[in-house]
Amino acid sequence: MENLEQVAQTEAQPEAQVPAPAEEKTNWGRFIFDVVETLALAAILFLGINAVSARVRVDGFSMLPTLEDGEFVLVSKLNYQFGDVERGDIVVFHYPMDPEQELIKRVIGLPGDKVSVQNGIVSVNGQALNEPYIAATPAYSGEWIVPEENLFVLGDNRNDSSDSHSWGYLPSWQVVGKAVVIYWPPSFWKVIEHTEIPATQ
């Protein structure tokens, strides 16, 4: 009887719980790996986005009425990797007088173009431009022939803009990209129109 009771007691006892430190280490290791993987993917995504685009804040009133002070603009760096700058494009570039600054202006003249401002009218290669996007007609005058590998840029707010009419030509390699979208503030969200400027040479 005693042997049977001992056997019954032995069978009734619960199995001893074996601690599993290895499993806990595995869980922590997996968690750390997931965190590192997430950070790495975020860094790759960030670098990838920065490689093809830029975000700039409009500072000042030189592009009124097209762009207003304080608006944030998305800039495509890819456009000019696969295509050429065109007259009428709104571009962001490193200011030739201070490359640490980035400015935003409209391209008026391409290499070889003759740009003329007379009596409030801008002409390119003898053809007067129709410019519904400007704030007011320019109060200055002058003539410029755009050198190779350079651009002639003007602000849409012609009489309140530091641009090619005052500091000269923009080297094309200092162009960051083409402004494509106003994304902030949300109420001002819109795709930026780039008015084509036909001008035969």
Q: Identify the CATH class of 54-191.
A: mainly beta
- The chain-wide mean pLDDT, for the chain, equals 83
Residue 164 among the catalytic residues? no
Section 145-172 average pLDDT? 97
Q: What DSSP string describes 92-108?
A: EEE-TT-TTSEEEEEEE
* Active-site annotation holder among 25, 53, 105, 166: 105
Residue 129 clears pLDDT 60, i.e. is over it: yes
Domain residue ranges in the chain: 54-191
Q: Which of 160, 103, 115 is nearest to 134 (CA)?
A: 160
User: In this predicted structure, what is the pLDDT of residue 85?
Assistant: 95
Return d(Cα 158, Cα 174) in angstroms, integer. Answer: 22
* Active-site annotation holder among 25, 53, 62, 190: 62
Section 17-45 average pLDDT? 64
Tell whether omega for the bond before 185 is within 30 degrees of 0, i.e. cis: yes
Return d(Cα 48, Cα 64) in angstroms, integer. Answer: 32
Out of 9-18, 103-112, 136-145, 155-164, pick the least confident: 9-18
Q: Is the dihedral of CA 44, 92, 151, 195 positive or negative?
A: positive
Return d(Cα 168, Cα 162) in angstroms, integer. Answer: 10
pLDDT class for 82, splitting at 50, 70, 90?
A: confident
Terminal C-alpha separation, the chain: 117
Residue 141 among the catalytic residues? no
User: In this predicted structure, what is the pLDDT of residue 158?
Assistant: 97
In sequence order, the 6+-apart residues with CB closer than 8 A to the CB of 69 are 58, 59, 60, 61
